[in-house]
Amino acid sequence: MTNAAVETSVDLPCHVCGYDLRAQPQDGQCPECGTSVAESRRVAAMPRRPAWQDSDPRWRRRVLAGAWVLVLLPLMDVLNVSGWAASVPVPTFWDSRGTVYTLDHTLAAYPGVYQPLCFCAGVVLLFSKERGRRPGRLDWTRRWGVICSYVVLLFSVTQFLFLAALVMVGIAAMFLAMRPEYQPAATPLFVNVGATYLRFGPHPMDGAGIVLVAFASIVMLLACVPLFDALRSSGSKRVAAVLLAPLALFALMHLAQAAPHSLGGSRLALPDILNYGIYFRPDLLVNYFARLPVGVMWTQPTLGGFLVEVAKWCVVLAIAVRLSIAQLAAWHGRRKRGAA
């Protein structure tokens, strides 16, 4: 059997449409979509799931960073409860009266700022594109995961955006009260941006909170795909599935709680659902240890909710530690190969 016959006997699907290209010449094109046969051969030579040490280094660093960012979700609550935020200095640029000097006076210490930003930054890092491997069937989760992450961030800062739109409309009304020749050039911008958000943007209402819970749960379900790829490339598939099962089950539970309430058929109280606006609830985790009330708008911490948060945080911590060990092993192996 000649080499040409051996090559034509191997399956060669088009990497775009899946058409069988075995009978096509090397410099030909796919009859269905016109994709180059050479490109399909290059993609077919890539591994479906490379080992951790052989995968894209940039993807490894970003996934590892995303896992550790999620681990640090309770950090701001710990600093506030312990009082350390009042002793952490913050760099200043203007030395004037009222200048911020410590972390507890910054916007990051305000409830509802640090946690959504940390959550969205972590999951966006998890959805980083991986080079050097064959495209998979679940690659669409990366694009939709990033989009849903931005939706979560938008609905998380709804209160701030709504207040900013009101301020812009008020400033625009003050400018419009002036004579036309004295109106600033930014007056139309203030009018258009403020009025557009107030008309079409999300408002701080119960419906926005339900949407936030739903999208945060969807984001975590989608994030299980890149986490599974990272864990199975650095270890056993069974261990990866066991680690990710609690995250997926809790996401489905929160989604199942939010969906009936939007239809008016839920038996749970609204605060019990809105608590999980970013899937995690680090304030409950920290305040349970400190024996502090969660807040006026939230229900008091219960043992069941506390255990759920402990399980989430421990799973994320275990994933971060597992990937860190794999990253150190890959770095050590690269050094040994370089020395040899």
pLDDT in tens, 256-296: 888 776 666 556 666 777 778 889 988 888 877 776 555 43
Could you read off the pLDDT of 111-124 as tens digits, one per residue?
A: 788 899 999 999 99
State the Cα–Cα distance between residues 148 and 277, nearest whole angstrom: 13
The packing angle between helices 303-339 and 237-262, to 10°, is 140
State the Cα–Cα distance between residues 30 and 23, nearest whole angstrom: 10
Could you read off the pLDDT of 35-69 as tens digits, one per residue?
A: 777 776 766 656 566 788 888 899 999 999 999 99
User: Model pTM?
Assistant: 0.78
DSSP letter at 59? Answer: H
pLDDT of the residue at 123:
95
Average pLDDT over residues 223-241: 91
Would the pLDDT of 70 be above 80? yes
Closest among 48, 34, 43, 49 to 13, alpha carbons compared: 43
DSSP letter at 100? Answer: -
SS3 assignment, position 225: helix
pLDDT of the residue at 251:
93
